[in-house]
Structure formats: C-alpha cells, structure tokens
Structure 1
Amino acid sequence: MRLWSLAPDYLDRQGLAACWREALLAQAVLAGRTKGYRDHPQLARFRATPDPLAAVGDYLEGVAAEASARTYS
C-alpha cells in the first residue's frame, strides 16, 4: 500500500494514479469491505484519528484536487 505523507503535487502522473488506487483500497479496508491488508502499517495513521474513514476521505479529496488541477479525469 502506497500512501505517501507528502503533498500530492510532488507526485508524477503514475504516482498520483497509484496513490488514488491505494487510498481507495485503504478506504475499503477501514470500512471492513475487504479481508486483506487489515494490519498494514500504512493504515496506522488513519486509525489513530477519531474518524478513520473521514481521514482517508480527506486524503482522497487532496489527491482528487491535485488531479483536477492537472486536468486529469
């Protein structure tokens, strides 16, 4: 799982797309919709928040905003 702790504007096209996919996977794991990756260390920072699903949602919003700024669809 690649959930980087840097601003999405530092990622290249492939990195931004990978970040989006991996964050969607993290969202599914935190929502209990998948059996794998439950204990992945990258999820610890989201689980440490009062609302892990909202935290990963905020993360996805940042990635989506950067994709929109680059006019990706």
Structure 2
Amino acid sequence: MIEQLTRRERQILLLICRGMCNKEIARELDITAKTVEWHISNILGKLGAANRTQAVVVALEQGLLGPGHRQ
C-alpha cells in the first residue's frame, strides 16, 4: 500500500506520524493548507484509511518508519 504513495504523499504521511497538523505541514513544505488536505485525502484513499490515525497505523505496519528512517 505504501508503495502506491507519491514522494510528496510519503513526506506528508511522515509529518503526520510526527504529530504535525495541516498548518504545520503546510509551513514545513511551503505549500497551502488546502494542498495538504488534498494530499491527505489521496493518502487516505490509497491506504484505505478512514482517518489520519488509521493512516499512521498503516504506515507503521508497512514499515514506513522502519530502520534507517530519520526522525
């Protein structure tokens, strides 16, 4: 599932895993909050997740935050 995500979607999912809200993610990536919302919607759809929390669980289960990942 994780492999279906684009590079930007993976970036955003990692920031969600770090506990960032949409505004913080937007600031970090220099994009609008609406763009973050759009990417999150795509992430949820691709992962089959109903919400951000489920997306984080999938990320953990799929090894997105595995060995070698820098926090």
Q: TM-score range by the shorter chain?
A: 0.3 to 0.5
Tell me which structure has the larger Cα radius of gyration.
1
**TM-score after normalising by structure 2:** 0.39
